[in-house]
Structure 1
């Protein structure tokens, strides 16, 4: 049984009849635990659609998505929602932190969404934040953090439910070069340490050195570089 994330012959159509357009065209990709893959390509090439399907936010028109050995294409909306919460960690372009929650509570909120927060959960959250250099920022609010600290909080939050898959959408978009390298090297480090299957969509080709493999997306088609 293949662990990690597999997309097999994924096609996504928009529109009907003569107006039908393939945003994704028979995309196949496999990312195993401990692997960090990057997807690059111009705007409008299908990267966002690809990430939405990989993250169980959007259903493919054709093909199969397999997460941790389980096909998810035919799951109900409720099952997909549970899958997103338990199996997938998202890191977005802007850190998407809740303005009125401190750094520790940003992580514990995710735990609350999947049940009650235990002492063990709190301990794991603090350990994650310390590991990512945020041990002195547990009680800080987003407005008190630098861009890099916000993204590190977002990385910790993506790992709090111990998901099998991490998906990062342009995680360096709002960062300067030094912070960008810091954030992507931390993602790479956590992926290896915790054996996650990870995909990063990026425009920033300087970040590709941290990745195990790089795919290019062009007109809805994907190829390994």
Structure 2
């Protein structure tokens, strides 16, 4: 008898997280979403204690998708504050680490798991006036590479996706000039759709990928060429 796989999707209340949850459910995965609002579980990824309690409550998780994140302020680097840096890094980087520390040990014990982290093309290119966001997503890329190597023989694969701009509620808060600039960098001359990203994530969460870990998967309409 085939056992239904389970997944936790953070940031699952809207945008790319919600699209990913829908796509995984279409594959027969039992998905639990976590977000501040609009999800199966209301929790903050920066709350390490809450995540550990949730891990005990929901039981084994085979797939972890870290889609929770914020863009942060649109302003020149020299105008940013230490408080702004701490907030974005705490959510985008430490939040990702917190969920991995809560759920990866169980995957490793069972000998199978898939972790997909959400970064951004900003983490590779560095978008102007988005220094905090860019730096936070570069950190997510690096921590994924490190974790992928650490877990390479465990049966747990850890990969990261780097989307260009996608049509999500998160980008409603991005300044129009910044949005226009980053869209202009896409050779396909359009922004991506959430379902396009979800399709890539579903692949990375499945048995269809078996010899890739610590890798960065671009989904950028041709923007990324390295």
Q: Scaled by the length of structure 2, what TM-score is found?
A: 0.35
In terms of Rg, which structure is larger? 1
Determine which structure has the larger strand proportion and give its number.
Answer: 1
Of the two structures, which has the highest relative contact order with CA contacts closer than 8 Å and spacing of 6 or more? 1
Determine which structure has the larger helix proportion and give its number.
Answer: 2
